[in-house]
Structure 1
């Protein structure tokens, strides 16, 4: 038998139905090496879904204890999962890390985990309902024993949740590591990570499904929409919502781009005739975010995350404090006074952010000095080369901005970690706020200064074009060309390595090699940087595109390549990330809405500064200012009225959610009535 069908991914096409290639004597023939030895140690067959890696010198007593806790029954405090160590085999000769563990579980365990997590699945009547084992046969696509009912991403998310909620009982420390303290209720996985005993935990790719997704997603150039349902099925809702927002933002920019091209071509020299485009900006930035909320709600309902209730949020792995009892859960966990955290935020973090903003302002003043010197030099000797020299300060400033943003990002992460936030959501909110404030000031302060202090529309157009084009070139290099080059380089090494191994063994590549190759891939760090880039591009377009109408065209082209570069990285460069069952884009929705409010104020101010509007108030500048402020307040009021009038969730979905809530209340009433009836029968 030849393992050609299985050699590039984990064994078994369906993660819930392991094939005969995964265990026993047949496995010895199909997959020589450590995986087979591990599989033969277990009487139960399972398909590997998640890989857990420990450091190479992990002590044996710690490994034995961890494996026992993972395999132990739930009522004993274990995770009740199946786990086997990837054998040393040939990898040991190559001095690779041998402490890799393959984790899977039974179908029934996955179904019970889906019920515990409250996963929503499609019911036979077409509605989305929380899955329960009691009425599992009433769910659509649940046939037989439920094989294929859960996607592989959902299975891996369930296993990740079970591992992360694996808690210490009466252990005082991790066996063999007296410095790694434990206490009842402490998350074992998080302690292993914080003490550096665990290297990583990641889900395995399914190669055949990944090939199909790659082909329909980025391997062929097309102008159609992305396969969001397939992306969600493979990577989860969080990643699918990001790509959905990227696609929506790109399509929303097309009307502005179509208007901007002729507007730019026919008004090339008329820098002051931007009133019409500014009015269009006001309408555009007000409507698109409201429509996105409805679109994202439709996606979230279809994917079963809109009405899903989140479980009680656990403390972050990096959270530390004095051991105490949580008054909500009653569990023992670290406690840290909120007063100390607030002192760190307001006495250290806030002054640091203000200092960084001052340094950014100082750099901006240097840029204006360079700009003035270049312009004066060009005015004295107007040649082709001096004309090019005029753009040099803006290019240098754009590069410096990217460098400052990168340095500040590391500082913001360090400060936010030092603030010791208990919850991951609180940590993310504080980090996003720090990064957004600095990036907004760093990227837009010079444009505001040129527009409203210098009031130089020619320089504003030039600076905006230079900043936008330079930042996009740098981003495309970092996000598209560099990952592609690194992937090609890694592939060449892989080909040489595979040929050498096949020459030595004269056999097909085993699953063991696939696991080790994925372990060496880069780790996906989430959508933070991707959303930040879209936020800045949205700012460039919504704030000042009226003076440079081609901004929307450039952003559309950037987003088009962004889809393919991000898709390539997700499928070929990064490890597979765990599914993130998100219902929306989170705090970034508030960030974009705040930017749209600033855009209204900015565009109204630009309209008030235009010569066409000033001509109506030749003698009273104060009257012009009052009219501008009044119109701006009126548009903001209209914006908030539209926000109130346009429901975030479409009416049909509201009706479905209301029906589910009504049915839940009726079921609860019937249950109470039944309990009362049973109790009355028992009592004399």
Structure 2
């Protein structure tokens, strides 16, 4: 068979088949399912009786009656309401009014009455609150049941020896069916469109019933993340405005721009052969720009973000616990469709060995060794690409620096009116790096999937978890490595005039130096270009690509009247929502989370950019899921899975990166408290103090004068000439002390907050206990009632 499609809705599933092959399509008409109660026949009686728009496809529509739904709801232990909740509604969360702008009004949310729930029992229909059998089970439960049946539907002939031929997944893999999906419901479509147009982050109950808990938990997490970003964005904006308003109080920038100080300081050439001397005040604009992001507010914001990320993760655990109760997932066990064996595992895993302890067949260890070697190889390739970008930076840095005039009495001829060679190099290298990242993304996605396929994971859940770790590892190195270079390596291994350090030691590419104002502005540039570029490109790609593909795929149908273009044909022309559909949504948000936590000290406006992006993201995702993709089969999920542990790891790592960020705050504080003249705690004279002297004998450019460079070394003629001064060691000790103290303080606050905030709210615990008590009491009374009724 070819090009068969299954669709579910009130018509639960539909299959399309080529006309000439319909006669052999026995699996479409009948299959028997073994359940605990015996063999239950499930009929698929309705085959569309005429060729459709493409002239060669039939659709088989699957209906599920009440008896089927009730039987499998019993088998799957689906929780349904049996009594109205009598526990008073919880009180408003403190400061809950702050989230009002992000939430839909009640008349749109349409909250339903709260009920106590119990696993469905077909033998005790009267025990449950069943008003209408047609609407008792929500759409997400109905298509979950249908998929559960189809996943176990045998399609072998009665006289066949192969009894393992069962499941819609295998039929899709071998090409019997082209697709299997539920139909979109026009009524629920209106709910989702309302959610889309409102552009809020709250989750309507109709959306949960329509898509199920797995997609629901994604939207709930994205909404909560966006709400919490609001606070980080406000504080970040305040810190940025502080840097902007204290512009005129910046003493060290004034000294750089001053003709008396910066205009009389001649700096060493930035490259060996073609570069000339330059005046310090040529970097005036760069120093002012740097002050907006490198000030006292930066230190405060770094500490704040260390606490914010802890509050975000801890409050999300509480929100998640509340959702588990509200969505009847307290006693959740992984879905059967997630834990069942993958067809690829059964087909490919031919050579296995028995584990003597667990008595379970496992893969040979050679496969794991090959996988590890492959991962190491591709990570090495990423690092090689980063080294290539660094080499480019050094070459372009030298090229831009050579634009300067050779005369030490003139200012630099800048690349632009507002940027220095260092900043010009950073901008162009960041743009090239962004392009490389986007190209490598496509490559690494395929590599991660290929490596995971090589491992042949047993279940779908295991497959997703392994792919999640590999993909994040690749993306972490791909996106963040260039930022780590600028933050922690650039300007740290430069050397001194006459003894510079070169890339690899033997090349002619001299390591980059930072501006006299520091490297933080270059890290900010790198972060803005990569982060903002990724978000803009991601939203365009998410919205435009599916729309274009659907427009092109449905071009033939547009020539037919609307009455001839059936609902199942319209849905079939949409893009397939794969089992990794949510994976890429989570990956995009987790990479963004890394940007706003790992390097946020260099760019306080990063949370604001993330907030604006997420407001658009929730719109795009809602529109995309409803109008551009086939409706996915509903699935249960009580958490965000492996992403939770990744977020925890990034949060811990961010504390270290933010307290060791590339900033000149520590050298300035050391100068102000220990080396400031007259002990007046001012920054006067800081620039002259932070620059060391070098004689022209060490400079390849033949100009007879002394020049300055950024370091703390003794001047020529001193008995310890060109060795580090005591101030250098004081600054180093202060940096280490700051890192250790602030790291411990932030971690202590982090763990104290985590300890103080329970993962499960007390109200939820009370509701769970109350529900379990009522279930036991009601079941007892029900059995007594039935017994008395039987006796009479």
The bucket for the TM-score relative to the shorter chain is: 0.7 to 0.9
> Tell me, what secondary structure is at the counterpart of 1:305?
coil
Equivalent residue for 1:639? 750
Equivalent residue for 1:231? 207
> 1:53: Cα distance to partner?
4.0
Tell me if the contact between 1:78 and 1:166 (Cα under 8 Å) persists in the aligned partners: no
Q: Does structure 1 residue 182 correspond to structure 2 residue 162?
A: yes
> Tell me, what secondary structure is at the counterpart of 2:602?
coil
Equivalent residue for 1:514? 567
Question: 1:357-403 CA distances to partner (integer Å, 9 max, x unpaired)?
Answer: 11111111221222333344444241339956752221121121122
Q: Does structure 1 residue 206 correspond to structure 2 residue 185?
A: yes
User: What is the distance in 1 between the residues matched to 2:425 and 2:664?
Assistant: 29
Max radius of gyration: which structure?
A: 2
User: What is the distance in 1 between the residues matched to 2:783 and 2:69?
Assistant: 30
Equivalent residue for 2:597? 542
User: What is the distance in 1 between the residues matched to 2:389 and 2:523?
Assistant: 14
Tell me if the contact between 1:608 and 1:625 (Cα under 8 Å) persists in the aligned partners: no
User: What is the distance in 2 between the residues matched to 1:434 and 1:54?
Assistant: 38
Tell me if the contact between 1:394 and 1:463 (Cα under 8 Å) persists in the aligned partners: yes
Equivalent residue for 1:176? none
Tell me if the contact between 2:371 and 2:454 (Cα under 8 Å) persists in the aligned partners: no
> 1:134: Cα distance to partner?
3.8
User: What is the distance in 1 between the residues matched to 2:733 and 2:551?
Assistant: 63
> Tell me, what secondary structure is at the counterpart of 1:450?
helix
Tell me if the contact between 1:228 and 1:243 (Cα under 8 Å) persists in the aligned partners: no
> Tell me, what secondary structure is at the counterpart of 1:124?
strand
Q: Does structure 1 residue 582 correspond to structure 2 residue 637?
A: yes
Tell me if the contact between 1:171 and 1:182 (Cα under 8 Å) persists in the aligned partners: no
Distance verdict in 2 for CA 1:325–1:657, change over 3 Å: farther
User: What is the distance in 2 between the residues matched to 1:344 and 1:269?
Assistant: 51
The one of 11, 30, 52 aligned to 2:15: 52
Distance verdict in 2 for CA 1:322–1:362, change over 3 Å: closer
The one of 73, 81, 85 aligned to 2:47: 85
Q: Does structure 1 residue 251 correspond to structure 2 residue 273?
A: no
> Tell me, what secondary structure is at the counterpart of 2:635?
coil
Equivalent residue for 1:434? 470
Equivalent residue for 2:56? 96
> 1:223: Cα distance to partner?
5.4
Question: 1:112-135 CA distances to partner (integer Å, 9 max, x unpaired)?
Answer: 212211222233132232222344
Distance verdict in 2 for CA 1:210–1:296, change over 3 Å: same
> 1:497: Cα distance to partner?
2.7
Alignment of 1:485-524 (within 5 A): 485-487=548-550, 494-498=557-561, 508-509=563-564, 513-524=566-577
Equivalent residues, number:
595
Equivalent residue for 1:314? 340
> 1:233: Cα distance to partner?
1.4
User: What is the distance in 2 between the residues matched to 1:432 and 1:422?
Assistant: 15
Which moved further from structure 2: 583-592 or 63-72? 63-72
Equivalent residue for 1:294? 318
User: What is the distance in 2 between the residues matched to 1:622 and 1:581?
Assistant: 53
> 1:246: Cα distance to partner?
1.3
Q: Does structure 1 residue 161 correspond to structure 2 residue 148?
A: yes
Distance verdict in 2 for CA 1:65–1:484, change over 3 Å: closer
User: What is the distance in 2 between the residues matched to 1:259 and 1:285?
Assistant: 13
> 1:531: Cα distance to partner?
0.2
Which moved further from structure 2: 229-238 or 473-482? 473-482
> 1:461: Cα distance to partner?
0.9
Tell me if the contact between 1:50 and 1:203 (Cα under 8 Å) persists in the aligned partners: yes
> Tell me, what secondary structure is at the counterpart of 1:606?
coil
Equivalent residue for 2:367? 344
User: What is the distance in 2 between the residues matched to 1:95 and 1:336?
Assistant: 49
Equivalent residue for 1:681? none
Alignment of 1:115-514 (within 5 A): 115-126=74-85, 127-140=116-129, 142-143=130-131, 146-167=133-154, 182-183=162-163, 187-214=166-193, 216-218=194-196, 220=197, 222=198, 224-267=200-243, 268-270=289-291, 271-273=293-295, 274-310=298-334, 313-320=339-346, 321=349, 337-340=361-364, 342-345=365-368, 347-379=369-401, 380=403, 381-384=413-416, 391-454=427-490, 456-487=519-550, 494-498=557-561, 508-509=563-564, 513-514=566-567
User: What is the distance in 2 between the residues matched to 1:447 and 1:389?
Assistant: 14
> Tell me, what secondary structure is at the counterpart of 1:80?
strand
Alignment of 1:578-617 (within 5 A): 578-606=633-661, 610-611=665-666
User: What is the distance in 2 between the residues matched to 1:666 and 1:121?
Assistant: 17
> Tell me, what secondary structure is at the counterpart of 2:30?
helix
Distance verdict in 2 for CA 1:71–1:442, change over 3 Å: closer
> Tell me, what secondary structure is at the counterpart of 1:201?
strand
Distance verdict in 2 for CA 1:326–1:498, change over 3 Å: farther
Tell me if the contact between 2:44 and 2:63 (Cα under 8 Å) persists in the aligned partners: yes
Q: Does structure 1 residue 533 correspond to structure 2 residue 575?
A: no
> Tell me, what secondary structure is at the counterpart of 1:52?
strand
> 1:84: Cα distance to partner?
2.2
Tell me if the contact between 2:354 and 2:360 (Cα under 8 Å) persists in the aligned partners: no
Equivalent residue for 2:31? 69
Which moved further from structure 2: 302-311 or 407-416? 302-311
Equivalent residue for 1:108? 67
User: What is the distance in 2 between the residues matched to 1:170 and 1:77?
Assistant: 16
Tell me if the contact between 2:294 and 2:663 (Cα under 8 Å) persists in the aligned partners: no
> Tell me, what secondary structure is at the counterpart of 2:344?
coil
Question: 1:506-533 CA distances to partner (integer Å, 9 max, x unpaired)?
Answer: xx336xx221221221111220000000
Question: 1:138-182 CA distances to partner (integer Å, 9 max, x unpaired)?
Answer: 434x215x2311112211111111111224788575xxxxxxx83
Question: 1:616-639 CA distances to partner (integer Å, 9 max, x unpaired)?
Answer: 795443464255235424533543
> Tell me, what secondary structure is at the counterpart of 1:447?
helix
Unaligned runs of 5+ in 2: 1-6, 86-115, 244-288, 404-412, 492-518, 675-726, 785-792
User: What is the distance in 2 between the residues matched to 1:150 and 1:290?
Assistant: 33
User: What is the distance in 1 between the residues matched to 2:308 and 2:782?
Assistant: 51
Tell me if the contact between 1:294 and 1:650 (Cα under 8 Å) persists in the aligned partners: yes
Tell me if the contact between 2:353 and 2:361 (Cα under 8 Å) persists in the aligned partners: no
Tell me if the contact between 2:14 and 2:60 (Cα under 8 Å) persists in the aligned partners: yes
Unaligned runs of 5+ in 1: 1-9, 16-46, 174-180, 328-334, 500-507, 674-684
Distance verdict in 2 for CA 1:364–1:213, change over 3 Å: same
RMSD: 3.5
User: What is the distance in 2 between the residues matched to 1:326 and 1:131?
Assistant: 39
> 1:489: Cα distance to partner?
5.3
Tell me if the contact between 2:19 and 2:51 (Cα under 8 Å) persists in the aligned partners: no
User: What is the distance in 2 between the residues matched to 1:571 and 1:630?
Assistant: 50
Question: 1:184-232 CA distances to partner (integer Å, 9 max, x unpaired)?
Answer: 5x53323323322222211011123313431x122x3x45444432211
Which moved further from structure 2: 535-544 or 420-429? 420-429
User: What is the distance in 2 between the residues matched to 1:541 and 1:624?
Assistant: 23
User: What is the distance in 2 between the residues matched to 1:48 and 1:364?
Assistant: 53
Question: 1:7-34 CA distances to partner (integer Å, 9 max, x unpaired)?
Answer: xxx99xxx7xxxxxxxxxxxxxxxxxxx
TM-score by length of 1: 0.79
> Tell me, what secondary structure is at the counterpart of 2:489?
helix
Distance verdict in 2 for CA 1:554–1:95, change over 3 Å: same
